[in-house]
Amino acid sequence: PSSPNTLTSWSIGHSSLQPADVVVLKKFCNVFGYSFSDSFASTHLIAGVNGRMQTKRTLKYLDAIVCGKWVLSMDWVKQSLQEMKIVPEDGFEIIGDDKFYNNIPRSCRSLGGVSFPNMEIFFYGEFGQPARESLISLACKLKCQIVSDIEELKSKRSGKHIVVICD
């Protein structure tokens, strides 16, 4: 969404922000009437960035790019507060994470999100952080099929791409 004058149901999430930035983000939400979200349910993700407009790869970040959400730096929030109006998101969109910086957020947003319906994923082993359930949830948003156990994996002959993710 990028028409701030007509859309009031924005929900603003955050990832990798400093505590002081979270306070500013909450103020932004109050000033402009948007809801503040600590969960994955948001229309925009405000992410902490390094000097190259890259963020840390977190589940919230991955969820945002998979779902085609805006992923913006705090500068968008601060500029909007300074001007006392929502400024256009362009120019504040991060270019990627600390592993890939090839405008993945913009590409996925312009596509309306991404999906891999021809991919089957099997999660093997014990998982700490991120939790297995969180990874499965992300895979489901990608429209991947989840292989539930090793016997099912052994019997697969579907011709689909199979990915095994181990702890």
CB 99 within 8 A of CB 57: yes
Q: How many helices (H) and strands (E) does the chain have?
A: 6, 9
Question: Considering the entire predicted model, what is its pTM?
Answer: 0.83
First and final C-alpha spacing in the chain:
36
Q: What is the per-residue pLDDT for 2?
A: 44
Residue 149 to residue 159: CA distance in whole angstroms: 18
pLDDT in tens, 7-18: 458 999 999 999
SS3 label, residue 11: strand
Mean pLDDT over 24-31 rounds to 97
How would residue 158 be classed by pLDDT, with cut points 50, 70 and 90? low
> Residue type at 80?
S
Examine the pLDDT at 1 and tell me if it is beyond 90: no
Examine the pLDDT at 3 and tell me if it is beyond 60: no
Burial class (CB in 10 A: 0-12, 13-18, 19+), 112: exposed
Q: What is the per-residue pLDDT for 76?
A: 98
How would residue 36 be classed by pLDDT, with cut points 50, 70 and 90? very high
> How far, in Å, are 20, 43, 110, 138 from residue 113 at the CA level?
30, 12, 8, 12
Q: What is the per-residue pLDDT for 60?
A: 94
Mean pLDDT of the chain: 87
How would residue 118 be classed by pLDDT, with cut points 50, 70 and 90? confident
Q: What is the per-residue pLDDT for 126?
A: 82
Instruction: Identify the residue with better confidence: 100 or 92.
Output: 92
The DSSP string of 39-97 is SS--SEEEE---TTSEE---HHHHHHHHTT-EEE-HHHHHHHHHHTSPPPSTTSB--EE
